[in-house]
Structure 1
């Protein structure tokens, strides 16, 4: 009985991709995928998504450990705030970033007046927007893994006299490795496909802030064949990333 809804779910995912393939102009496809706009957008997407993933790991791992292990009052409220980007429309997130780091935002105003630094509509703004929307995926993966593993090994390490940093480095991090790989892949894929927060906070400037999703949106207004070709590039890259990286990330993960 499960094959029927499972088949429908699969068709719901696969058929739109088939629709893109049917719509694509195969005679122009090789030319379209190597156009300046497509190459620039793909390179920027891969670069910013990779940097964003590193940022998600650097910031998200400590945050996940704190959420999973802390017993301070209000931790549930903090967890809800951390996961807020998962449910917020990305455009709302982009507006929030703009009014925080824009020239009229309280932090952006300080950066501009004190250091002459302007964040919006730069490549750095793309990275910040991607981290904002992608980091919760990593935090969810790691926090769940920590909760499933429990804290008995960390307690044993502390009992044996290990310092907190040693326990984190020698016990907690090895427990996190399978989930860390999986969460990093999810974060990269989410950053790669980010659109709403990026276009609101960073704009769409070719070679500077125009990632592949933004290029698809721009080209769809003038050259639908080019937009379809870029969409296929994005699909291929996403499938390769998930297919190649995710099984390795999950290898050895009992969950």
Structure 2
């Protein structure tokens, strides 16, 4: 890992990360503390709002880590120092995964603190809160791995964002359309089968069914594959340096 590069990545993305993370926490706290709104948090917030806001950070940040720097020419400066491409990939992965982990850790703490103020009927079990945030984190990691893969494959930001961002947006839109089947709209279940977001089964987590463990494991596997493909591709491809 390169600490100077990690510091550079933090500095370049800290504003976007901070704004998105603060907004995510503020909205979560408002929903939890408003009368009658806490029970909508699993479906409305973790089912869609949380992932959409996080997707904005993911698409922009992942592009900045690899393709954006190649596009701007700053990658040539980085690689002119005694640092291998593999170390660049590892450093950027540590930043990306670490920033998402911190975001959802803060959400978990926020949720737990707000949960203490809720009545017994409106509150959530501690393990449910932890598992919901763990699931959302794994969805974010899986989506970010797709964008990281395209960022490693392409040298231009327009292709990196255009492909990775389009896939992420498509998955979220399909999940949104499929979610209407939960409210009695028929014929929309098929859309759930077309997006990896459906592997994050909040209903199973709340009902304490074991199926969600295997589903979240698949999200972890997707993340590993995406990160690996993007990293290996970046280390092997020709760069316009």
TM-score by length of 2: 0.33
* Greater radius of gyration (CA): 1
Larger relative contact order (Cα-Cα within 8 Å, sequence gap ≥ 6): 1
TM-score by length of 1: 0.32
